[in-house]
Amino acid sequence: MKIVCVADHFMEESFYRDCMAKFPEIELIDVPYFGSHSRNEMREIADKLEKGGPYAFEPPAELYESIKDADLLMVHLCPVPRGLMEAAPKLKYILTNRGGLENIDLAAAHELGIPVLNNPAHNGNAVAELTICLMICETRNVTRAHYAMKNGEWREAFPNVGRVFELRNKTIGLVGFGTIGRLVSEKLQPFNVRILATDPNVTPDDPDLAKWNVELVDPDTLFSQSDIVSVHARTEKKERIIGKHEFDLMKPTATFINTARAYLVDYDYLEIVLREKRITGAALEVFPKEPLGLDSPFVQLDNVTLTNHRGGDTVNCYSDSPEYLVRAMKDLIENGKRPRFYIE
């Protein structure tokens, strides 16, 4: 089989070459480059692709030539419009190193009979690790103490004075029990916590619930009983699922964490409950408007830990993804095992 891989600022050419060296039965034809070499400009391109789809930008011109004899196409952010697929009469699979599919014309792929394998889990471990980090940083005042000491202050009075607890024996509520929710559950095992999860797409017989000692509950139970609520959901229609009702259920000693999507949460009401100290604190990785400006109320609040939406941005989440996709494809071809993320 022959493959063409498209590199970009995040998905380096070396990642593809290192991967394909493990699969001598796959010939790497070419590795054209898509987009800018500037990180900031590539972030803008990614944003425009998510909003504008596969026709927001043109693929690299040379890709149309190199793909003619390809059986496989692997991309990250590179657009895959109908015309590119039609230029590849031998194309059997499209593999994409990301969860979002906005850069691929799925309707055209379906009509042309080209299955698509994507990888929503490519940055799952990175986000799960950050989630555990934020649980500790916010509840134990790590960033507040750091900032104070950097500014010459030995600070001991914090917004959660009298509420500084260890994770041990606390209840952690996970809103969403998909890839990242499961990874968070796995990483919480040594902390001896009670784990609750709510997810309309998960049934009580899901084996991972028992594997990680997770109780599947309704949303009201989760919000009212959890000491830390952590969001790991994603909705196709970009619906808000956490607002006044849910925040009003939370304990005054509780902490709220969002490393998922800002649209899921009523941030205006979250600001109110934090300002009025109706919950103890929050840790936020995502925001309705990014980058976050100094005029944001969350910048002014002392009971919030902020990170800049880079929770899934590690070298590993990009470098390990191509091999995952190739192995999933081979498992499908050789063993008939349908990949978890597969679109026909």
Q: 290 catalytic, yes or no? A: yes
Query: How buried is residue 190: exposed, middle or buried, by Cβ count under 10 Å (0-12/13-18/19+)?
Result: exposed
Give per-residue pLDDT as tens, 219-239: 999 999 999 999 999 887 889
Contact 283, 304 (CB under 8 A): yes
251 shares a domain with 176: yes
Catalytic residue among 290, 338, 340, 344: 290
92 shares a domain with 190: no
Long-range contacts of 150-159 (CB under 8 A, 24+ apart): 158/302, 159/277, 159/280, 159/281, 159/302, 159/303
Q: Is the dihedral of CA 75, 80, 84, 86 positive or negative?
A: positive
228 shares a domain with 171: yes
128 shares a domain with 57: no
Domain count of the fold of the chain: 2
DSSP string covering 9-29 = SSS-HHHHHHHHTT-TTSEEE
Beta strand residue intervals within 193-307, DSSP E: 194-198, 214-216, 228-231, 255-258, 281-284, 304-306
109 shares a domain with 147: no
Q: 37 catalytic, yes or no? A: no
301 shares a domain with 265: yes
236 shares a domain with 292: yes
171 shares a domain with 292: yes
Neighbour tally for 229: CB within 10 Å = 28
135 shares a domain with 200: yes
Contact 188, 171 (CB under 8 A): no
Q: Which CATH number belongs to the domain containing residue 206 in this structure?
A: 3.40.50.720
What is the distance between the alpha carbons of residues 11 and 319, in angstroms, rounded to a whole number? 7
Mean per-residue pLDDT of the chain? 96
142 shares a domain with 75: no
Give per-residue pLDDT as tens, 138-158: 999 999 999 999 999 999 999
Domain containing residue 265? 124-306
Catalytic residue among 261, 271, 323, 327: 261
Catalytic residue among 82, 194, 234, 309: 309
- Give residues with Cβ within 8 angstroms of 275, minimum separation 6: 297, 301
Q: What is the pLDDT of residue 247?
A: 98
- Give residues with Cβ within 8 angstroms of 203, minimum separation 6: 216
SS3 (DSSP) at 68: helix
Long-range contacts of 87-91 (CB under 8 A, 24+ apart): 90/2, 91/67
186 shares a domain with 129: yes
325 shares a domain with 280: no
Give per-residue pLDDT as tens, 89-128: 999 999 999 988 999 999 999 999 999 999 988 899 999 9
Give per-residue pLDDT as tens, 186-224: 999 999 999 999 999 999 999 999 999 999 999 999 999
pTM: 0.86
Give per-residue pLDDT as tens, 278-333: 999 999 999 999 889 999 999 999 999 999 998 988 889 999 999 999 999 999 99
270 closest CA partner among 290, 297, 231: 297
What is the distance between the alpha carbons of residues 279 and 256, in angstroms, rounded to a whole number? 8
What is the distance between the alpha carbons of residues 117 and 322, in angstroms, rounded to a whole number? 11
Give per-residue pLDDT as tens, 17-69: 999 999 999 999 999 999 999 998 998 999 899 889 999 999 999 999 999 99
Contact 274, 106 (CB under 8 A): no
Q: 146 catalytic, yes or no? A: no
Contact 238, 263 (CB under 8 A): yes
Enumerate the H helices of the chain as residue ranges.
13-20, 39-52, 63-66, 82-86, 106-111, 124-139, 142-150, 179-187, 207-211, 219-225, 244-249, 267-275, 297-300, 315-319, 321-335
297 closest CA partner among 330, 271, 279, 258: 271
